[in-house]
Amino acid sequence: MLSRKYVIGLQPLLWSIFLVLLLYTILPTLTVRLLGLWVYKKKVARDGIALTFDDGPDPDFTPQLLDILSKYQIIATFFVLGSKAEKYPELIQRIHHEGHLIGIHNYVHWTNACMTPQKVRKQLKDSVAAIENIIGVTPIYYRPPWGIINVFDLFLVHRFRLVFWSLMVTDWRSHGGTERIKSKLLAKLQSNQIIVLHDSGQTFGANRDAPHYMLDALDAFLEICTLRRVTFLRIDTYLHLLQFKKRAPSRRTKKFLIFIWLKWERVFHWLFNIRPIDVDNQIFYSRVRKYHGKTIQLGSGEELNSGDLVIELHFNNEKLHQLITESDSMFQLAVQMKQAVKSFMPTLTQHVHFIPEKVKAIYGITMIHRGSKQLGFTLTELPKGIFSRVTQFYLKLLLCLLHPNGRDRLKMKSELLSPRIATISTQELCKKYAVSVELIAISEHAVPIS
């Protein structure tokens, strides 16, 4: 049995692993699934049903599947594995010649959560090359295995259209047989769904004979759909009909997501020892740390160099959500934020006096930075790179989540939504927002602000 001391010693490592997984794959996957951002997973108009098939092609089951689709004159979308496409090019040719759409499902069936960004891109590059060599068409539709992505996959939306699903009937399992799959398909027949099925039982967690039951259930399902005159369309046709419009999350869903986000931030603050500057007015959270980055020329003539101590500011996003809700425009929001920050600056100045270390500057990253220069902050662009892109994605995601108009706001003057580093030297801070001698004298006998 593990000792308590050993378990306690493992806690920082376990927290670190959890944090990496949360930021790298869990949070991005939940975001795109719940908010429907940058992915296509469900229709918003009653134009028909989309049948999609993953994990093929398979030499035994894909020909039978194509025969069934041909029998009912239905076209579908196939998300194939690049390695199988290379192994069975004649099946890829048949899928294409019979009018079905071909997308990609990685080169092999590995989850993106367990791969580096470079590895994911190689999987996609090899898969695209395999399809192009067979049918001469470049696939642009992509479904990641198990519907799991990592944070860097969000940069793929410029090249690929991510397609998830709205109905999964666990057809990779043999348990329950044909009747179970058929009943689940029929239960959702009245709704316009993107249905995902699997024409291979060779992937991890699947039963080898499962496609037998899927094919029998599909045959019966399509016979009923034919009698009911149900329309089936390819994914690209869906997107064309919808003109790329997506369903906005409901108020209840958005409220829930905001609740989860703010709870997660509390955990984040606890993990990294980020504390409120004023417990009675928690507009800012902060921590003292060493600055790591390029040299920044401060307005006071000083330089902020790598290794200098800074107070890192974090805006209270609960307060930000309140300000956004009360604002009619981004301009009004900027004005309110400027007023809130300006009124808080003397408190921040007082906070600096209680820090025993020699702090060079106040430092923060923000996307709403209008009016910062008038408050004495120097604005600097983030150096281009992975950190800049991830930061910009995070801040835009936060704005999309907190702002009442969500994604529509991101489309308005998106060029202005660029994160900046805001810095002010402690020397300039104290000079510009010096509190009175009497207040400092009183503060020296007061309990320090935590």
- The residues carrying an active-site annotation are 54, 198
Contact 51, 167 (CB under 8 A): no
Q: Which residues pair with 430 in a beta bridge?
A: none
Cβ atoms of 355 and 288 within 8 Å: the answer is yes
d(CA 257, CA 263): 10
Q: 420 and 327 in contact (C-beta within 8 Å)?
A: no
Within 305-408, strands assigned E span 309-315, 361-366, 378-381
- CA 310 to chain CA centroid, Å, is 30
In 3D space, the residue among 255, 263, 388, 252 whose CA is nearest the CA of residue 317 turns out to be: 263
Exposure on the CB side of residue 48, measured as CA atoms within 13 A: 20
Distance CA 300, CA 307 (A): 19
Taking Cα atoms as reference points, which of 138, 187, 135 lies closest to residue 166? Answer: 187
Reported in sequence order, the residue ranges of 253-321 that DSSP labels E, i.e. its strands, are: 275-276, 284-290, 296-297, 303-304, 309-315
Whether the CB-CB separation of 55 and 105 falls below 8 Å is answered with: yes
Number of C-beta neighbours around residue 259 at 10 A: 10
Contact 197, 53 (CB under 8 A): yes
Q: DSSP of 399-433, one letter per residue?
A: HHHHSTTTHHHHHTTGGG---EEEEEEHHHHHHHS
